[in-house]
Amino acid sequence: MPAAMLIATRSSKREAPITSAERSLLTSVAPVNVDFAEAGSAGPVVILVHSSVSGARQWRRLMEDLKDQFRVRAVNLFGYGKTPPWPAEATQSLDDQARLVEAALPVDAGEVYLVGHSFGGSVAMKAAARLGGSVTKLVLLETNPFYLLAQSGRIDAFAEAMGLRNYVKKFGALGEWATAAEKFADYWGGAGTWRKMALDRRAAFAEALKPNFFEWDAVMNETTSVGQWARLLPRATLAVYDPGTVLPVREIAAILRRTCPGWLHREVPGAGHMAPLTRPELINPLVGSFLRARTRAQWRALSARPGPGGWGDAKGNATGFTNHPLADPNEAPP
């Protein structure tokens, strides 16, 4: 059986963990060398997958929180850190990005946990499906499989996502990245976010947006149904979102909540879409508690809402990119 065929059939075999030999094969057929930051040396493997316009360094604080109990690796997707950019002549898929996650796995990895934010959430979903039973926990922070909106008849939400996609594609193709970046920043961070940025941060943001041109193809051309995701992904899945987030993400959260009632669905009011970067004090304790929980009863006992004495405090409304630790896409991770 060709190597590529072996990988393609992994998603249907969740019941058995992949062997070391199979994992070596997965790594060897990855299209490029993946760049990643790492921390910790013992415990289950945790792979962190960043959002668009970010990079592995978005996870610095979470890596610090987890390193004493886990082997943590934060991947850089195509075009971030030292992972090569996506070839302009090719159409990107979630499978392509998921292969980077596979390539970042230690050869001797046993139990694997995946954490993904926004686009990284969609990549983590695909990687978890491909790796099957090896992935026993999955954390999705405002994941963005926008194509599910069309499949589920959420027409207004899908149109809103397509509007942003078309804007980035149009002005990116023209090389007018500052124009595309202003729209992107204001959409996710709120009106006026771009104007509040210093000029050097605007330039860095516009440069870091370039990989997103291809990421839209990956997230819009996927065909896996929500019912298939429910069967393929781990039962121990935590889905987190802000109930005041943008319409497409709210609708995706509703679709997943309805179809996957056995998952742990948690709201973080007022956190904003970029909370893993701008409000880690809200997100990191929740993620850490979920990953450390040893039994289903323990992880399901996590409080439904953040608050004093729980896993964070939702007071305040620090949305946007004000504190975004934006990485130069050509800079090595920490």
H-only helix segments in the chain = 3-8, 20-28, 60-66, 94-104, 119-131, 147-151, 155-173, 177-189, 193-196, 199-208, 212-220, 226-232, 247-259, 275-278, 280-292, 296-300
pLDDT in tens, the chain (334 residues): 222 222 222 222 233 333 433 333 333 334 568 999 999 988 999 999 999 999 999 999 999 999 999 999 999 999 999 999 999 999 999 999 999 999 999 988 888 999 999 999 999 999 999 999 999 999 999 999 999 999 999 999 999 999 999 999 999 999 999 999 999 999 999 999 999 999 999 999 999 999 999 999 999 999 999 999 999 999 999 999 999 999 999 999 999 999 999 999 999 999 999 999 999 999 999 999 999 998 777 766 664 444 433 333 333 333 344 444 443 333 333 2
Assign residue 43 the CATH number of its domain: 3.40.50.1820
Count the domains in the chain. 1
Q: Say which amino acid occupies 64.
A: E
CA neighbor of 52 nearest in space, from 170, 164, 157: 164
Q: Identify the helix (H) or strand (E) that includes residue 49.
A: strand 45-49
pTM: 0.84
Q: How many angstroms separate the CA atoms of 201 and 207, rounded?
A: 10
How many residues are given for the chain?
334
Domain that holds residue 147: 1-334
